[in-house]
């Protein structure tokens, strides 16, 4: 592809002729020379003119026929490609492109000029758009698009940068388009804003210079001054317009939009960029490995109710990616846009954003390491909320308990077996006729008593709510619908009437959560229900929003919102598939613009309501959007009881941590289908290390709670032991969530984040870390008693024994009988653990046991955050304790950095040091000699300490 001549911001001023940059690379000089004919007339022979005239006449005849065909493509098509604009056929060179120019473009660098999925592109359709057509010989991989047959030539018309002026934050520019594209309603004048917001964050916006367009209504930082020492530089191409963003320290090109033309029509926006490597992550929610493929891979974004399926748009929309550069540095890019979109990855490597509304609102994060990128991203979309302590315990649910007494029996069975459980849930069968804020009067008549019993045992209750509100009952008999209709809080159709769809209760209306009045109505409904059933958290489901009808009961109008010129590759091929009409009217905008925000807006209303009720919010939502972590967690949807689903839960969990939603997990043992004993044991072992840990399955399938008679005593014991292990690690997990809330850190973390210099970690998604130090290597296959784990370079310790493993960066075979999940601790850490009990409430008063993993140099560090676990905003109101631990020169130090009464209730009972090279002769605690044990595997343990956590102390050995 052509590399356009680049201009720095200082070069682009138009009060005088634009100067040539002082130096150009050989590639730039060569590219410029190839474009010289673009700006001056070139002589041609008479024969060539005659031939061109003849071809032009033939093309015109063909064009008339093609236009006629395009206007009548058949009713079965969800939409048709737009007719060519008059300018397209008059573009320089005619409707076709010279074979030499087209053949010169390598296959990997071909950017798709005909992204529509129907009809199949032909040479005639392609060349009408002024693009190159070369039929690729290679057959694409299953589910992949393959090399595009129709692609942009290097001189395809784009925008021109007409002016660029200084602002307090950076630059403001004017872009103009002089030739129309093949999509309707090109926006001819764009405003470009380049804002150097922080040293590590660049913000670029492109929007209509003359008319306001829809912008995503989430809160983002408002920078007031230009970054003093940015870690990036920006260069501009004047004509055709393009941006190049480089990392200052290395010169690595992070963004280069000059590789393909910019589109900005009313309902089609497209921008392409090269990538510095093929290592790209994020771009959720999709069922795939953690590392995305760049082999002609299209990811579609439009919230959709569909069980997790490959190559399909799923419940959430997160147009953010993290890219790893050669050498291990990392950056991130976020397109703040909520319209339906495709993101195309190709092996250049390159990425194309293609959306059908809104604006191009782009944030670029400079890192330089992967963890820093996520922190910078969450600074923009919002830091995750701090969950209540009990949210990090084990949760149990089933659709199909049928009665509250049956639900209660499961809880009692868990207690009888001594199996940890913090929360019991109910699915939709607790409702009367599947109607929100009701209970089935006969089968669930003892629900209030069950909830009281849970509370008496330090446990919690969570129930499901769907957004669809039943509309068929007699007036005056169902307050949520009657009052909602009275207040006008439901989504309307394009005629201004309440839109009626169909969900579990039958015909339903959908609350408009973009309307502040709906938040008040939602709060009042929750408050009324709480008076009957004092629930503790909320499970919001079906909030894409899901609709069993396509659009509404009476259909949707035939207009440009329902049938845009381009429809991304969404399941169902139309925007209204299994949701409400795109033309439906909401308070903030038409549904076309805010469809994928529905789950976020419902979570915002729910979190606000719980806070008003005095509760630290616990909410789990199916549909998500950037900033969701501020309000809720997420579960990975309706998975199945299959080994593959066990595996893909790990990349799903890692992806949502990267996206700023650390409270995430999958349905343990699978939701759909019936599990087996082996699968469920292995899944309980992995699920014990999901940040959000819940066993949940569907109706009319084999029960899978640990007490079910299908499980042998050996299996039940394995499940119990791994849950007790999770509960013992609660102090570590709670502290990790504090750092997520305070700084945007991940909780479940890919190895890549801690070892970005090790290329072997880039594709690992069968192992993961808690924080920086606890390595989890689960079994993900049937009928095995060992597992292969990768250990990055360094010293690692077996969690259970303290035995060391020194790795140069290698794979190791680990024994893994059915009752064991392999855990290893990284050198240099202090891990706080606690004697576990069957609830976190009864565990939190138990003694602490600290595990110290010494580095080769004898160093280690760690910390502990502690509060009452459920009050609002404890960090913000200074109602917490914070303790740091350090080890150097054979001395362990515990220092209280922030005091709180909660710490006075906790005692430190044991400290174990892994990796003490020589057997000590003397150990002192606060200068007093104390007994100790030392094992052959170099583990030093000091017990019976009874040290109050609220006071600092030291341990020294010699």
Residues near 699 by beta carbon (within 8 Å), at least 6 away in sequence: 399, 400, 429
Identify any residues that bridge with 797 across adjacent strands, giving them in sequence order: 804, 825
Q: Is 361 a catalytic residue?
A: no
| Long-range contacts at 491-498 (CB < 8 A, ≥ 24 apart) | 491/580, 491/584, 491/585, 491/586, 491/591, 492/584, 492/585, 492/586, 493/552, 493/554, 493/556, 493/581, 493/583, 493/584, 493/585, 494/556, 494/557, 494/559, 494/581, 494/583, 494/584, 494/585, 496/585, 498/471
Burial readout 344-361 (b: 16 or more C-beta within 10 A, e: otherwise): bbbbbbbbbbbbbbbbbb
Radius of gyration of the chain, Cα coordinates, nearest whole angstrom: 30
Catalytic residue among 325, 436, 544, 827: 544
**Is residue 282 a contact partner of residue 658, using CB atoms and an 8 Å limit?**
yes
Phi/psi for 688 (5° steps) reads: -65, -15
* Alpha-helical runs (H) found in 182-301: none
Read out DSSP for 475-532?
Answer: TTS-HHHHHHHHHT-BPB-TTSSBP-EEETTEEEE-B-TTSHHHHHHHHHHHHHHHHH
Question: What is the layout of strands, in order, in the sheet containing 506-509?
Answer: 469-470, 506-509, 501-503
Tokens standing for 382? Answer: 């919002």
* Alpha-helical runs (H) found in 81-149: 86-89, 99-103, 123-128
Sign of the CA dihedral running 501, 506, 509, 513 = negative
Catalytic residue among 541, 549, 902, 909: 541
> What is the distance between the alpha carbons of residues 549 and 776, in angstroms, rounded to a whole number?
43
Residue 471 C-alpha from the chain's centroid: 34
**Is residue 767 a contact partner of residue 775, using CB atoms and an 8 Å limit?**
yes
Q: Phi/psi zone of residue 563: left (φ > 0), alpha (ψ -120 to 50 degrees), beta?
A: beta
Tokens standing for 304? Answer: 């959709």
Q: Which residue has the tokens 């341990």?
A: 955
Neighbouring CB atoms inside 10 A of 875's CB total: 15
- What is the helix (H) or strand (E) element at residue 370, kind and residue range? helix 370-381
Q: Is 549 a catalytic residue?
A: no
Phi/psi for 884 (5° steps) reads: -115, 145
**Is residue 244 a contact partner of residue 235, using CB atoms and an 8 Å limit?**
yes
CA torsion 69→75→81→84, rounded to 10°?
30
Tokens standing for 188? Answer: 């001819």
Find the length of the chain. Answer: 958
Residues with active-site annotation: 541, 544
């Amino acid at each position: 592809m052509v590399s356009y001549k680049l201009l720095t911001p200082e070069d682009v001023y138009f009060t005088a002729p634009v100067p040539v940059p002082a130096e150009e690379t050989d590639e730039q000089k060569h590219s410029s020379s190839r474009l010289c004919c673009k700006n001056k007339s070139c002589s041609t022979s008479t024969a060539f003119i005659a031939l061109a005239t003849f071809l032009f006449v033939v093309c015109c005849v063909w064009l008339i026929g093609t236009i006629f065909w395009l206007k009548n493509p058949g009713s079965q098509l969800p939409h048709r490609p737009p007719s060519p604009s008059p300018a397209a056929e008059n573009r320089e060179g005619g409707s076709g492109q010279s074979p030499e120019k087209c053949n010169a473009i390598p296959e990997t660098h071909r950017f798709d000029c005909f992204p529509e999925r129907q009809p199949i592109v032909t040479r005639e359709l392609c060349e009408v758009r002024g693009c190159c057509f070369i039929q690729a010989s290679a057959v694409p991989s299953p589910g992949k698009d393959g090399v595009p047959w129709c692609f942009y030539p290097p001189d395809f018309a784009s925008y021109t940068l007409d002016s660029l002026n200084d602002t307090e934050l950076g630059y403001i520019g004017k872009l103009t388009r002089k030739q129309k594209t093949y999509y309707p309603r090109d926006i001819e004048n764009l405003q470009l804003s380049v804002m150097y917001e922080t040293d590590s964050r660049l913000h670029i916006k492109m929007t209509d210079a003359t008319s306001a367009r829809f912008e995503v209504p989430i809160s983002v930082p408002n920078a007031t001054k230009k970054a003093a020492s940015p870690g990036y530089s920006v260069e501009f191409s004047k004509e055709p317009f393009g941006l190049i963003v480089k990392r200052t320290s290395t010169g690595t090109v992070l963004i280069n939009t000059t590789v393909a033309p910019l589109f900005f029509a009313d309902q089609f926006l497209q921008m392409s960029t090269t990538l510095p490597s093929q290592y790209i992550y994020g771009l959720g929610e999709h069922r795939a490995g953690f590392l995305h493929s760049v082999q002609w891979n299209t990811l579609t974004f439009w919230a959709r109710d569909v069980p997790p399926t490959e190559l399909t748009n799923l419940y959430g929309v997160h147009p953010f990616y993290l890219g790893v550069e050669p050498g291990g540095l990392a950056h991130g890019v976020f397109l703040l846009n909520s319209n339906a979109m495709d993101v195309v990855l190709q092996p250049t490597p390159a990425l194309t954003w293609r959306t059908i509304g809104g604006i191009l609102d782009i944030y670029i994060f400079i890192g330089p390491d992967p963890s820093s990128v996520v922190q910078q991203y969450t600074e923009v979309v919002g830091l995750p909320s701090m969950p209540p302590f009990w949210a990090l315990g084990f949760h149990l649910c089933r659709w199909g308990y049928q009665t509250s007494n049956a639900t209660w029996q499961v809880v009692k069975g868990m207690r009888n077996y001594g199996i940890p459980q913090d929360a019991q849930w109910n699915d939709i069968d607790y409702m009367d006729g599947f109607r929100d804020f009701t209970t089935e009067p006969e089968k669930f008549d003892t629900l209030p008593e069950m909830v009281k019993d849970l509370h008496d045992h330090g446990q919690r209750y969570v129930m499901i709510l769907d957004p669809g509100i039943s509309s068929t009952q007699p007036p005056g008999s169902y307050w949520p619908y009657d009052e909602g209709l009275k207040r006008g809080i439901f989504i309307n159709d394009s005629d201004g009437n309440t839109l009626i769809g169909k969900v579990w209760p039958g015909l339903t209306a959908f609350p408009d959560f973009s309307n502040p009045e709906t938040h008040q109505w939602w709060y009042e409904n929750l408050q009324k229900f709480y008076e009957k059933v004092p629930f503790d958290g909320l499970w919001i489901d079906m909030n894409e929003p899901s609709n069993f009808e396509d659009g509404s009961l009476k259909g949707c109008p035939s207009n440009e919102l329902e049938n845009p010129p381009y429809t991304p590759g969404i399941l169902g091929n139309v925007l209204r598939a299994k949701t409400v009409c795109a033309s439906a009217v909401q308070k903030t905008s038409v549904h076309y613009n805010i469809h994928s925000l529905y789950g976020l807006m419902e979570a915002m209303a729910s979190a606000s309501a719980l806070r008003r009720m005095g509760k630290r919010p616990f909410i789990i939502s199916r549909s998500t959007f950037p900033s969701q972590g501020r309000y809720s967690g997420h579960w990975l949807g309706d998975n199945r009881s299959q080994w593959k689903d066990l595996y893909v839960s790990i990349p799903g969990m890692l992806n949502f941590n990267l996206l700023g939603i650390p409270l995430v997990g999958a349905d343990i043992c699978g939701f759909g289908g019936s599990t087996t004993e082996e699968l469920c044991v292995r899944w309980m072992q992995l699920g014990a290390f999901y940040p959000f840990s819940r066993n949940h399955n569907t109706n009319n399938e084999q029960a899978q709670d640990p007490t079910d008679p299908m499980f042998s005593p050996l299996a039940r014991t394995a499940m119990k032991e791994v849950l007790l292990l999770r509960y013992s690690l609660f102090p570590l997990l709670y502290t990790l969530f504090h750092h997520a809330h305070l700084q945007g850190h991940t909780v479940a973390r890919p190895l890549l984040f801690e070892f970005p210099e090790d290329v072997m970690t880039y594709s690992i998604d069968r192992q993961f870390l808690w924080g920086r130090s606890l390595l989890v290597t689960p079994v993900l296959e049937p009928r095995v008693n060992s597992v292969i784990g990768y250990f990055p370079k360094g010293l690692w310790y077996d969690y259970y024994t303290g035995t060391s493993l020194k790795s140069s960066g290698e794979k190791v075979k680990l024994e893994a009988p059915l009752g064991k999940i392999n855990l290893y601790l990284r050198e240099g850490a202090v891990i706080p653990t606690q004697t576990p009990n069957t609830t976190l409430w009864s565990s939190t008063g138990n003694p602490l046991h600290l595990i110290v993993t010494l580095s080769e140099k004898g160093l280690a560090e760690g910390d502990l955050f502690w509060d009452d676990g459920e009050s609002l905003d404890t960090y913000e109101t200074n109602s917490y304790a914070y303790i740091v631990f350090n080890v150097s020169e054979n001395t362990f130090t515990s220092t209280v950095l922030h005091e709180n009464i909660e710490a006075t209730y906790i005692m430190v009972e044991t400290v174990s040091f892994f990796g003490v090279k020589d057997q000590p002769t003397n150990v002192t605690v606060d200068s007093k000699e104390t007994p100790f044990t030392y094992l052959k595997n170099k583990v030093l343990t000091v017990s019976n300490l009874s040290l109050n956590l609220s006071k600092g102390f030291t341990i020294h050995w010699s």
